[in-house]
Amino acid sequence: MKIRNGFVSNSSSSSFWFAFNGDTTEDLCASIRNHKGLFDLSSGWDILRRCTADDVINAINSMSGNESINDWEDPGVSHGKIYSIDYFIEIEEKAVEDEKKYLENIKEKYADGKDKWIFEWTERGIKEHEDRIAKFNAWKERGIKNSTMISFGDNHGDFMGGNLGYCMDYERDRVEIESDDLCITVRNDH
């Protein structure tokens, strides 16, 4: 048996979909300012790690460009670029389609019930995509038309490490919101 002697890390990140009224990064930042208390975070286990709405706004403003690029080169990962909410709906629908095809393709291989977890894990993923589709459609019906997706994490993501990366990742469940001008949903990327 081999035992690792070096440093081992359980790296994580969280993807945040920021959906908002407006067309620009400035519009998104104004919506965040309207809900600044939501972003006053500290990572529960370490009160020295704190972030605020200003930290999130500064991070968003530091991302290059906010023009819309609706292509499939990097599906669903917008890195601060603003897209129509329809774009993210299409990405999620494609993911559901692909994962259902995957399940169909492996059905025979795992017919004996061995490795049942693969089916359960994939089915959970499909449900998460379908839940996001329903959420995005509800937002769209309420007049929210644009969105961006940004990842925050301890060791990876658009913003990694530091107070902002840790707090947004570890306190992700506290940042979800549905209001008239700003809707946020989060995915734990592990």
Q: What is the pLDDT of residues 77-135, one digit of tens each?
A: 567 889 999 999 999 999 999 999 999 988 877 777 778 888 889 999 999 999 999 99
For 144, residues 6+ apart whose C-beta sits below 8 A from its C-beta are: 19, 20, 21, 85, 183
- Pick the more confident residue, 162 or 74: 162
Q: Please tell me the predicted confidence (pLDDT) of residue 72.
A: 38
- pLDDT of 11 above 90: no
Q: Are 175 and 39 in contact (CB under 8 A)?
A: yes
Is 143:21 a contact under the CB 8 Å cutoff? yes
